[in-house]
């Protein structure tokens, strides 16, 4: 007889003292309270720990204002991880530290120039991978991802993103067959095989939800959309991400989640 235990690890990166100097694309710069951002980030890590994740927090200095948004630096699959080449040049120095920790968990593949890729542009639902072509991610990155992933049975589809930073600002998965979408920012036709929940009309930035096995981590700032998730029978755990939102980040972007199954004979 044997059974399986799943080890769940969340890689996070601490909030930089220079967070206020972050990249901004669609937002106007407003003051950011770094201590408040750190407190919110700790609460986010606690929400992951409550869901059974072991947190591996990387450190970060003043030279990497955006490093807390660790999702953009890698994309983790069961078989391998892809280290990105971020679209913002200021973020490329974030990759070596993330690669060094991820190589303990997965064989690494690297996206190479002229491709640019932010992990926030990659939505994986089972073996289906959607890659947003945005200001950060280009078509060459989609081609490279396809070459890396096709041998493992993944289909990689390109999706045009407009009006927001990343594909996952516009659409995220709530379940294997259910997506949360802002249809102004990503075309619903690209996701025709899924059931869709639309964000509340007053909450355009509410499409970024972090799906865990049995719950959805979701920003408290979007109660109208949270109610829609509740109506679908989802367990919603609210987190305050208001300071990180001023840096154009949301809930998926602050972690890289790794699940490893280990067989135990008994």
Catalytic residues: 166, 253
Q: Which is nearer to ligand CIR, 1 or 101 (CB)?
A: 101
Residues that bind ligand CIR (CB under 6 A): 22-23, 25, 66, 69, 71-72, 88, 91, 120, 166, 247-250, 253
Contact call for residues 199 and 222 (beta carbons, < 8 A): yes
Return d(Cα 48, Cα 7) in angstroms, integer: 13
Return d(Cα 207, Cα 196) in angstroms, integer: 11
Q: Which is nearer to ligand CIR, 72 or 243 (CB)?
A: 72
Q: Which two tokens stand for residue 32?
A: 């950011």
Which residue's CB comes closest to ligand CIR?
120
Candidates 155, 50, 138; CA nearest to 87 is: 138
Q: Which is nearer to ligand CIR, 236 or 253 (CB)?
A: 253
Instruction: Give the shortest CB-93-to-ligand CIR separation in angstroms.
Output: 13
Instruction: Give the shortest CB-22-to-ligand CIR separation in angstroms.
Output: 4
Q: Which is nearer to ligand CIR, 20 or 232 (CB)?
A: 20
Instruction: Give the shortest CB-246-to-ligand CIR separation in angstroms.
Output: 9
For 114-149, letters b (16+ CB in 10 Å) and e give ebbbbbbbbbbbeebbbbbbbbbbbebbbebbbebb
Contact call for residues 167 and 130 (beta carbons, < 8 A): yes
Instruction: Give the shortest CB-25-to-ligand CIR separation in angstroms.
Output: 6
Contact call for residues 142 and 133 (beta carbons, < 8 A): yes
């Amino acid at each position: 007889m044997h059974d399986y235990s799943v080890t769940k690890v969340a890689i996070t990166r601490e909030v930089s003292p220079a967070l206020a100097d972050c990249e901004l694309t669609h937002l106007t710069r407003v003051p950011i309270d770094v201590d408040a951002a750190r407190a919110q980030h700790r609460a986010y890590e606690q929400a992951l720990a409550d869901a059974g994740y072991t947190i591996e927090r990387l450190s970060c200095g003043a030279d990497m204002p955006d490093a807390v948004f660790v999702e953009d630096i890698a994309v983790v699959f069961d078989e391998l991880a892809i280290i990105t080449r971020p679209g913002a040049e200021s973020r490329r120095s974030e990759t070596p530290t993330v690669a060094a920790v991820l190589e303990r968990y997965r064989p690494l593949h690297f996206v190479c120039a002229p491709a640019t890729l932010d992990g926030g542009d990659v939505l994986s639902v089972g073996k289906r991978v959607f890659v947003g072509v945005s200001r950060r991610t280009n078509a060459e990155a989609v081609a490279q991802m396809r070459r890396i992933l096709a041998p493992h049975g993944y289909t990689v589809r390109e999706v045009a993103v407009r009006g927001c930073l990343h594909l996952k600002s516009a659409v995220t998965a709530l379940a294997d067959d259910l997506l949360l979408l802002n249809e102004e920012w990503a075309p619903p036709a690209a996701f025709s095989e899924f059931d869709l929940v639309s964000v509340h009309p007053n909450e355009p930035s509410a499409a970024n939800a972090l799906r865990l096995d049995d719950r959805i981590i979701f920003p408290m700032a979007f109660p109208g959309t949270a109610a829609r998730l509740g109506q679908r029978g989802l367990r919603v755990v609210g987190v305050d991400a208001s300071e990180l939102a001023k840096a154009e980040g949301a809930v998926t972007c602050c972690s890289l989640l790794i699940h490893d199954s280990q067989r135990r004979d008994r």
